[in-house]
Amino acid sequence: MDNRIKVSVYCLAYNHSAYIEQTINGFLSQKTDFRYEVIIHDDASPDKTAEIIKKYENEYPDIIKGIYQTKNQYSQRINITRTFVLPQLNGEYVCLCEGDDFWTDPYKLQKQVDVMDEFLDCHLCVHRTSEVNVTGEPTGVFFPNVDLNSGIIESKEFLKLCSKSYSFHTSSYMFRMSEWCKYIQNPPKFKTVCDVGDEPYLLYFGQLGKVYYINDVMSSYRRGVSTSWSNRRASETDINKIIKHPTAMIETYLEFDKYTNGKYHNLFLPKTANMKLQLSIFTKSCKRLLNKAEREYFKSLPVAKRVIAFFGAIFPGLLLTCYLRRLKRLNKRKGYL
């Protein structure tokens, strides 16, 4: 076996003491013909997350390396990836997995490396991911939620998939280290304005060129964890904070449109329009969507959502009340509340 590190696994952990052992065991279960390393960043967790990581680091010093903060960096708006993690990575490839998600296939890394070594024109490798609830029970949801065969996905087709729904989970990503470092060190504006990390990844690496998809379920996303972004957003009641997400996503898609010189404008028009409708409902300003300046977005909405916009233009307060109630029911059903 070559002594060089082939893959660097990057894991962010915070208050994940209930899950981090399963995550780390998923890393350690990997069967490969190459060396890999696992860098786990604990952001000053008040629970026993750091203690658990240290235990594994002591047992597997050649694989596990922890980065331990004494003061939470995220709350200080520090770029954790660029500042603390990137300098520690030594691999030719990099994979991501957060501390509450986990890998389920011991050959995940080997399969992805084999693909990336063979198809040098692929900029990203992804695979299928299952969703589980907070206790680890399958929900029956998969990412992507459409049937795809293993193989190369051309850039436009990949971005088309991404424009429809949330297609590929973060725990499935494998990048070439050189390209990933460039993205992290010199991010495009559509990344810096976005309030989530996964979508800009898909946009950036999708527009670079080909992506390879493996139609094997090799990881699980854990839904409903109290510290997760989704849960925090679902429990938010302050409208001024709620509108930050659709506002950020609108700017993300508009900046991506500029970055790609409008090449994928029509692909992301419906997604942008949907975010504009959400923002209009929250700010009780659906009338604006009916203006000439917004006509392109309004026309790209499905008929049912156009009706909603018309209703909101006449009864903005009533629509907001109904929408918030529906959102709460939906989040409860999904396990976020």
94-144 pLDDT tens trace: 999 999 999 999 999 999 999 999 999 999 999 999 999 999 999 999 999
69 and 154 together in one domain: yes
What integer pLDDT is reported at residue 232 of this predicted model?
A: 62
- pLDDT, position 231: 62
pLDDT value at residue 327: 86
Sign of CA dihedral 92, 93, 98, 104: negative
Question: Average pLDDT of the chain?
Answer: 94
Residues 178, 290, single domain; the answer is: no
Confidence band (pLDDT; 50, 70, 90) for 229?
Answer: low
Q: Are residues 109 and 197 in the same domain?
A: yes
Please give the Cα distance from 285 to 267 (Å, whole number). Answer: 25
Predicted structure pTM score: 0.93
- Mapped onto helix, strand or coil, the DSSP state of residue 94 is strand
255 shares its domain with 278: yes
DSSP 38-59: EEEEE---SSSHHHHHHHHHHH
Identify the pLDDT of residue 307: 96
Model pLDDT, residue 336: 63
Whole-number pLDDT of residue 212: 98
Instruction: Give residue 240's pLDDT band: very low, low, confident or very high (50, 70, 90).
Output: confident
- Residue 333: is its pLDDT beyond 80? no
Measured at the alpha carbon of residue 146, what is the angle toward residues 140 and 149, in degrees to the nearest 5?
115
Q: Is the pLDDT of residue 337 over 60?
A: no
Give 186-198 pLDDT, tens digit per residue.
Answer: 999 999 999 998 9
Residue 58: the pLDDT is: 98
138, 214: one domain: yes
Q: How many domains does the chain contain in total? A: 2
221: helix, coil or strand? strand
**Cα gap 78→94, rounded to integer Å:** 21
**Pairwise CA distance, residues 326 & 320, whole Å:** 10
Q: Is 80 exceeded by the pLDDT of residue 223?
A: yes
Tell me which of 222, 240, 271 is where a domain ends: 222
Read off the amino acid at residue 32: T
Q: Residue 332 phi/psi, 5° resolution? A: -65, -45
Whether a cis peptide bond, with omega within 30° of 0, leads into 144 is yes
Residues 238 and 153 both lie in one domain: no
If asked whether residues 30 and 176 sit together in one domain, one would say yes
Written as one string, the DSSP assignment of 139-169 is EEEEESSS---SEEE-HHHHHHHHHHS--S-
State what percent of residues in the chain have pLDDT above 70. Answer: 96
Q: Provide the residue type at 150 as one letter.
A: S
- Which residue would you say has higher pLDDT here, 22 or 225? 22
- Token pair, residue 321, equals 């009340």
More confident residue, 236 or 61: 61
Same domain, 33 and 162: yes
Across the range 47-71, mean pLDDT stands at 97
pLDDT in tens, 273-331: 999 999 999 999 999 999 999 999 999 999 999 999 999 999 999 999 999 999 888 87
Q: Which residues pair with 67 in a beta bridge?
A: 41
Q: Name which residue leads in pLDDT, 3 or 60.
A: 60
Counting other chains too, the contacts that 315-323 makes at CB distance below 8 Å and 24 or more residues apart are 316/284, 316/285, 316/286, 316/287, 317/284, 319/281, 319/284, 319/286, 320/281, 320/282, 320/284, 323/281, 323/282
- Domain C-terminal end among 192, 222, 252: 222
Q: How confident is the model at residue 224 (pLDDT cuts 50, 70, 90)?
A: confident
pLDDT at 178 > cutoff 70: yes
Measured between alpha carbons, how far is residue 314 from residues 9, 86, 302 in Å? Answer: 52, 51, 19
Query: Which amino acid is it at 106?
Result: P
Q: Show which of 160, 195, 222 is a domain's final residue.
A: 222
pLDDT at 233: 64
Does 247 lie in the same domain as 184?
A: no
Cα separation, 89 vs 70, in Å, equals: 21
Same domain, 155 and 11: yes
Give the pLDDT mean for 232-244: 77
Q: Tell me: cis bond preceding 46? Omega within 30 of 0 counts.
A: no
Q: 246 lies in which domain range?
A: 229-334
CATH number at residue 13: 3.90.550.10
Please compute the mean of the pLDDT values over residues 142-155 and round it to a whole number: 95
**Shared domain check, 140 and 29:** yes
Verify that 259 and 302 share a domain, yes or no: yes
